[in-house]
A and B are shown apart, each in its own frame.
Chain A
Amino acid sequence: MQLFLQRVFDSMNNGASYAVVAIALVLIFKATTLVNFAQANMAMFGSYLAWWFHGTVPIWIAIFLAMALSAVGGALIERVLIRPFDPSDHLPVVLITFGVAAILEATAGRFWGLEFHKFESPFPAQPDDYIGIGGARLRYETLGTLLAMGLMVAAVFLILNRTKIGLAFRAVSSNVESARLVGVRTGRTLQFGWALAAALGTLGGTLVAKQTNLEPAFMAKLVIFAFAAAVLGGLDSIGGSVIAAFIVAIIQSLLVGYAQSIPGLGWLKSNFALVVAFVLILVVLLFKPAGLYGTKRVERV
């Protein structure tokens, strides 16, 4: 029981990071019905910026600056590389997001090298910074990560549901043509979505970088789990993807943990969880394409 609890606690940090990145994916998917394959590397680049700024300013200010700069970058990418293309033709846009991903990875490698950099935790992370619950350790760092995620989810929720730009964004996501007909400038509204998603991605990256350390490919695995969470949550449901993120993280933690102790399965290392994520994506897409909380595209006329 103690071990089980510990594994669940251990998964929370991953769950929170997956959730934040999954929301970023869902925002873009809701609005454009395409998956931003550059999301992982946008988050990677943003995390590097935070690490770089941290050379001169405190970690929280560095993370905040990196998020702001990522938002500007996301808006620029939308304006220069996405908007000129016909949104109904997905293939070119998807290829462009792959291109952006490659450019960001190469640039990060060029600037900051391919070696690992330690990313300082923005939360208390001394060995004895934990609360003991049933013999398991719930670390302050995990609590802090959950809190940061919770605040970010609340912020996104408020922006989408209580602001005019949020209303416009939901309108564009629901029906682009009608959004234009009520006077919404759809390009600018989508740009706002890209900016928000980029900032979210960077936060997600920094929440996980403190554990994995930085290197140009550090987000590659995380984004697969985040994508599995987004698919499981329904791809267009923000709340759904948050819940799904924790489901994915717990499954990952338990599977990897218990597989080790089953005789003959010791060779299943942490990469095994990646396979599980892919299988999960496949199963959801096959049997419940709308995910747990997604909109089933059925309309009455």
Chain B
Amino acid sequence: MTATSTLGSGGSAGAGGNVMLSVSKVDASYGQVQVLRQVSFTVDRGEVVVILGANGAGKTTTLRAICQMVSTSGEIILDGQDISKSDTASIVRMGVAHVPQGRGTFPELSVEDNLEVGAYVRKDNEIRDDIARWFDAFPRLGERKSQLAGSLSGGEQQMLAVARAMMSRPQVLLLDEPSLGLAPLIIEDLFSRFSDINRETGTTMLVVEQNANLALEIATRGYVLEAGQIVLTGTADELRVNPAVREAYLGA
């Protein structure tokens, strides 16, 4: 058993009735291999929380656990409702959007169809307006709306994946290593977009990243995941100055 160190007071956020997502004592395994051990964390409404961790620490599995794309035990509460026994399609309907690692677009569908299918769970008639709005926000996507998503560059695909996820008008957006394989300038632009989206739509965000620099810049709080366990938590500022974090994730 490893105890989670809490830095300062920031780590205790999440108390009170404002919790959007609460994960407690979650185990997850692929067959015989246990990947997550008693993982607990919370994300408040409207907050951006980052989970830092090295390769293989269980970051992706943590997000997959929330969407029930891996078998889990423990409790996962979304906006007061236990979703740990629901199936993925239902969880999406309850307001979770997930941008998986490696973009998760539909390469054989046009850019526009990718956005339309992103709104699959919606029944209102503002879908067209939303597509237009995302084309305004990402003009590069608008210029390529009839192109197949598979022909876009990596950065464009990541933008498309995020816009596609936002098309469901989610309460919580899960981002799995959005910086992976992208050039530094593009990553910077992308993360400032995440900040904009969070500010403008109030969407709660949970980002898992190896690239701690930018992630901590847009996050309010963070957790550090090591070998499937949360070992450290604190506000973004606390984590940024923490010697262990600096050494492992900030290259300082």
| Chain B 152-167 residues near chain A, CB threshold 8 A | 152-154, 157, 164-165
Chain A 136-179 against B: per-residue CB contact (8 Å), 1 yes, 0 no? 00000000000000000000000000001001101101110111
19 CB < 8 A contacts A-B:
A164-B120, A168-B117, A170-B109, A171-B109, A171-B120, A178-B104, A179-B106, A180-B89, A181-B69, A182-B118, A182-B168, A183-B120, A183-B168, A299-B107, A300-B150, A300-B151, A300-B152, A300-B153, A301-B181
B residues within 8 A CB of A170? Answer: 106, 108-109, 113, 117
With contacts A167-B120, A170-B106 taken as known, whether A180 is within 8 angstroms of B153 at the C-beta atoms is no
Complexed CA–CA distance, A171 and B106 (Å): 6
Nearest chain B CB to A16 CB, angstrom units: 27
**Which of A170, A174, A179 gathers most chain B CB within 10 Å?**
A174
- Contact present for A184 and B181 (CB under 8 Å): no
B residues within 8 A CB of A181? Answer: 67, 69, 88, 92, 97-98, 100, 104, 165
Complexed CA–CA distance, A125 and B98 (Å): 58
Say which residue of B69, B108, B113, B153 sits within 8 Å of A167 (CB atoms): B113
With contacts A167-B116, A301-B154 taken as known, whether A183 is within 8 angstroms of B104 at the C-beta atoms is no
B residues within 8 A CB of A164? Answer: 120
Which residues of B are in contact with A by a Cβ distance under 8 Å? 67, 69, 88-89, 92-93, 97-98, 100, 102-109, 113, 116-118, 120-121, 150-154, 157, 164-165, 168, 181
B residues within 8 A CB of A175? Answer: 104-107
| Chain A 103-158 residues near chain B, CB threshold 8 A | none
Complexed CA–CA distance, A181 and B118 (Å): 9
With contacts A175-B107, A300-B154 taken as known, whether A184 is within 8 angstroms of B120 at the C-beta atoms is yes
Say which residue of A167, A177, A186 sits within 8 Å of B104 (CB atoms): A177
**Which of B97, B108, B113, B117 gathers most chain A CB within 10 Å?**
B117
With contacts A164-B120, A168-B120, A175-B107 taken as known, whether A183 is within 8 angstroms of B89 at the C-beta atoms is yes
Complexed CA–CA distance, A5 and B55 (Å): 66
A295 part of interface (Cβ distance < 8 Å)? yes
A residues within 8 A CB of B121? Answer: 182-183
A269 part of interface (Cβ distance < 8 Å)? no
Nearest chain A CB to B172 CB, angstrom units: 13
Complexed CA–CA distance, A180 and B165 (Å): 12
A residues within 8 A CB of B109? Answer: 170-171, 174
Who on chain B is nearest to A182 by CB? B120
A185 part of interface (Cβ distance < 8 Å)? yes
Knowing that A174-B109, A179-B117, A181-B165 are A-B contacts, what are 7 other residue pairs whose CB atoms are under 8 Å apart, sorted by A's residue number?
A174-B106, A175-B107, A181-B104, A182-B164, A184-B120, A295-B108, A301-B181
- Contact present for A174 and B88 (CB under 8 Å): no
B residues within 8 A CB of A182? Answer: 92, 117-118, 120-121, 164, 168
B residues within 8 A CB of A300? Answer: 150-154, 157
Nearest chain A CB to B124 CB, angstrom units: 13
Complexed CA–CA distance, A109 and B152 (Å): 53
Chain A 45-80 against B: per-residue CB contact (8 Å), 1 yes, 0 no? 000000000000000000000000000000000000
B residues within 8 A CB of A179? Answer: 106, 117
Complexed CA–CA distance, A164 and B113 (Å): 11
Who on chain A is nearest to B88 by CB? A180
**Which of A175, A181, A183, A299 gathers most chain B CB within 10 Å?**
A181
B residues within 8 A CB of A168? Answer: 117, 120
Complexed CA–CA distance, A183 and B120 (Å): 7
With contacts A167-B113, A180-B69, A181-B98 taken as known, whether A174 is within 8 angstroms of B89 at the C-beta atoms is no
Complexed CA–CA distance, A299 and B120 (Å): 24
- Contact present for B92 and A183 (CB under 8 Å): yes
Who on chain B is nearest to A180 by CB? B88
- Contact present for A167 and B117 (CB under 8 Å): yes
Complexed CA–CA distance, A41 and B166 (Å): 45
A-B pairs with lowest CB-CB distance, top 3: A183-B92, A183-B121, A174-B106
A residues within 8 A CB of B92? Answer: 180-183
B residues within 8 A CB of A301? Answer: 102-103, 154, 157, 181
Chain A 238-277 against B: per-residue CB contact (8 Å), 1 yes, 0 no? 0000000000000000000000000000000000000000
With contacts A178-B105, A180-B88, A183-B168 taken as known, whether A171 is within 8 angstroms of B117 at the C-beta atoms is yes
Who on chain A is nearest to B91 by CB? A183
Who on chain A is nearest to B102 by CB? A301
Who on chain A is nearest to B117 by CB? A171
Nearest chain A CB to B22 CB, angstrom units: 21
A residues within 8 A CB of B89? Answer: 180, 183-186
Nearest chain B CB to A5 CB, angstrom units: 39
Who on chain A is nearest to B94 by CB? A183
A residues within 8 A CB of B67? Answer: 181
